[in-house]
Amino acid sequence: MRKENKRNNETVQAARVQGYHEGGRGSESYAFTGFDGENAYFNSDRKEKLDENFKRLSGKPCRAIGIEIEVESWGFNTEKAFATVLKQVIFKLFPEGLFKMQHDGSLGGGGSIGIECITQLMTKEFIRNHYRDFKTMFNDYFPIFDISATRSGNCGMHVNISNALFNGDDNIRKFYYIVNRHYDFIAALVNRTGSTYYCRRMSHDKDYCKTLDLHYMSASHSNCFNGSHYDAGRIELRLVGGQENFACFRNTMESIFFLIERVKKLSWNDCDDLVKIFSGCNQYVFDRIATKCYERGTISSADVAAIRSKVERDDTLI
């Protein structure tokens, strides 16, 4: 007990609070990396240790998702104070070691301070099991400390996805094609409302995508789909926007979960048809389609009605 109290009452130094990369762009790393040897795989309700290359010690594939949540606050006058509250108050909602933080020079300004909050690897089941904690973070704690992931329009939420989740390279290529072929629709689906400077449209020619060499994907952080980490076992969807609240976060994550599974069942021709892509989605995905996607004019009312008729309800998620 004494040891625990001592640990909890330690003076938190800025470098420790802000993670391993407070210095700026030259030393940053991202989801799936940079946890200083404490690599973990949050599998359902368990935490599994990984080796230095983020490989499971059992040899089984890492079917994981890692997210980078960019946030800004007008409630603190120093980055250290902001990071201390994130680490010592808000991230206590989650299993220890799930989050790290880093400075991001693209955030902040106008009286706000920005920090990028990065997770270790998580399974879909783990994320769903902790939806209640994400709800408390987004809906309760963020407003208390004047934290926002959307207020200035600069924030986004990058989602890193293990190659293993796609069950084959052709499905990664279909995912890439869908994101670019239906770029404006997907932007609305994942709540991208601000600038797309850091997540621009790429090629959406079908023949190009069918034969895409994933080992030589673009490394540009200005693209909506970053495949430069393919050889390290993951791709990154950079188009995801800042999340307004928990319902927005949940609907975005459910949309991504659905697409990851859906591309395994689609033919290349199906990838041109929004009804075929989203037939059988759950109500959370459909809610996004029927509101933001429709309101932005990226899908017709007839297609919305056709998708509505095939919605599969899932009432196990809050």
Residue-wise pLDDT tens for the chain (318 aa)?
444 444 443 333 333 333 333 334 444 444 555 576 688 999 987 899 998 888 899 999 999 999 999 999 999 988 889 999 999 999 999 999 999 888 887 887 778 899 999 999 999 999 999 999 999 999 999 999 999 999 877 789 999 999 999 999 999 999 999 999 999 999 999 999 978 888 999 988 999 999 999 998 766 778 999 988 899 899 999 999 999 999 999 999 999 999 999 999 999 999 999 999 999 999 999 999 999 999 999 999 999 999 999 999 998 887
Reported residue count of the chain is 318
The strand pair at 147-148 and 46-49 is best described as unpaired
Residue 292 lies in a domain: no
The domain tally of the chain equals: 1
Which residue range(s) make up the domain with 156? 10-244
Residue 296 lies in a domain: no
Residue 291 lies in a domain: no
Residue with tokens 């799930």: 98
CA atoms of 121 and 65, how far apart (whole Å): 6
Residue 304 lies in a domain: no
109 Ramachandran zone, left/alpha/beta (phi>0; psi -120 to 50): left
CA atoms of 288 and 311, how far apart (whole Å): 13
97 Ramachandran zone, left/alpha/beta (phi>0; psi -120 to 50): left
Return the closest-CA partner of residue 101 out of 112, 81, 122, 115: 115
Which residues does 296 contact at the CB level (< 8 Å), separation at least 6? 184, 188
Residue 249 lies in a domain: no
Residue 308 lies in a domain: no
Residue 250 lies in a domain: no
Predicted TM-score (pTM) of this structure:
0.90
Residue 267 lies in a domain: no
